[in-house]
Amino acid sequence: MPIVVTIALMVTLVAAGGATPFDSPLILHDERLAQDRQTPEAMSLFGKPLVSAQPTGETKARLEADLAKAQAEYDRDPSSADAAIWLGRRLAYLGRFNDAIAAYARGIERHPNEPRLYRHRGHRYITIRKFDLAIADLRRASQLTTGKPDEIEPDGAPNKAGIPRSTLQSNIWYHLGLAQYLTGDFAAALASYREGMKVSRVNDDMLVATSDWLYMTLRRLGRDAEAKQVIDPIREPMDILENQAYHARLLMYKSLRTPESVLNLNTADDVQIATQGYGVGNWYLVNGDKPKAREIFERVVAGRAWQAFGFIAAEADLKRGF
């Protein structure tokens, strides 16, 4: 689903396992899963173990059924790039990030020129805070798609309308720009987001997703006039199916909404704080209120939605001391 804000749904992943024979199942059995339920999937930038929250009830049943189907399809044809991609995605939705990255790595061994595998593995390297590996994968994906037509990416967690909104190339540039931004290389992030804008005008969901990070990148570089140009096309009425959080933040940048209307720290849950907190905190930061920005960033990283991009960005900024 569009890269972006379905941040809440990005219950993400990483790679722990070593290589296994192509004909052996990649999934670990339930007994080991029960043992490893509290095994960290990653470490925060401050060295804190990050453990995936376990889904419950109908959500757990649905995600596990999806994974079982993906595993069966992979077992039937381990040579299929599509099967490897969907196995990785389904593992990711269950918070098994190491296993997901391992699935993509196995796919890359068989399909070294398949950009989709690098795109998805790069995304999940971001989740586990391995930004340099993410940048390498996403650059490779961008090279492999150069000069080729873009394609719609099927959703793993469809929106209510059941209409996919993101594309392969827009996702590649979005995630590459994000990984560069997280390292503090705002100049490189700007170049990636500029490229991303060329393929993000397919619909308003992709437009607001890329526009948000492009705006923040330009503000970090002190290029405020250019940042204003980015948000000029943003309007209250837009055709947004998924990325309402990005849309709200962009309206805040235009002074059409207040920070308090976008993020109420007294009522928001961890996911909402992670989703909106970084944008609001960064707005305070680039407008000169560093104490308020720090307060919000610290509130973001005090939560549990560590897979969210906003959480990772707040963590990265705090680690760098802005």
Residue 267 has a pLDDT of: 87
Greater confidence, 185 or 267?
Answer: 185
Per-position DSSP letters for 164-219, written without gaps between them? ---BHHHHHHHHHHHHHHHTT-HHHHHHHHHHHHHTSTTSHHHHHHHHHHHHHHHH
Per-position DSSP letters for 205-268, written without gaps between them? HHHHHHHHHHHHHHHHTT-HHHHHHHHTT--SS---SS-HHHHHHHHHHTTSS-HHHH--TTT-
pTM over 0.85: yes
Q: Are 42 and 129 in contact (CB under 8 A)?
A: yes
Segment 178-207 shows an average pLDDT of 98
Greater confidence, 15 or 217?
Answer: 217
Per-residue pLDDT tens over the stretch 251-272: 999 999 999 999 998 888 898 8
pLDDT confidence tier of residue 95, bands split at 50, 70 and 90: very high
Buried b (16+ CB within 10 A) or exposed e, 102-115: bbbbbbbeebeebb
Residue 265 has a pLDDT of: 84
pLDDT confidence tier of residue 37, bands split at 50, 70 and 90: low
For the cut 50, the answer to whether the pLDDT of residue 28 exceeds it is no
For the cut 80, the answer to whether the pLDDT of residue 68 exceeds it is yes
For the cut 70, the answer to whether the pLDDT of residue 33 exceeds it is no
Percent of the chain with pLDDT over 90: 83
User: Six-digit token pair at 68?
Assistant: 């079982």
Average confidence score pLDDT of the chain: 90
Question: Taking CA 272 as the corner, what is the angle to CA 247 and CA 244, rounded to the nearest 5 degrees?
Answer: 20
Q: Are 91 and 13 in contact (CB under 8 A)?
A: yes
Show Cβ contacts of residue 122 under 8 Å, excluding neighbours closer than 6 positions.
Answer: 133, 134, 135, 136, 137, 138, 141, 172, 175, 176, 179
Percent of the chain with pLDDT over 70: 89
Greater confidence, 19 or 301?
Answer: 301
Please tell me the distance from the alpha carbon of residue 293 to that of residue 148, in angstroms, as a whole number: 41
Residue 266 has a pLDDT of: 84
For the cut 70, the answer to whether the pLDDT of residue 25 exceeds it is no
- Quick check: helix, strand or coil at residue 103? helix
pLDDT confidence tier of residue 29, bands split at 50, 70 and 90: very low
Q: Are 212 and 249 in contact (CB under 8 A)?
A: yes
Instruction: List, in order of start, the domains of the chain with CATH numbers.
Output: 6-320 (1.25.40.10)
Residue 3 has a pLDDT of: 41
Segment 78-103 shows an average pLDDT of 98
Reference 246, options 282, 213, 224; nearest CA is 213
Residue 322 has a pLDDT of: 84
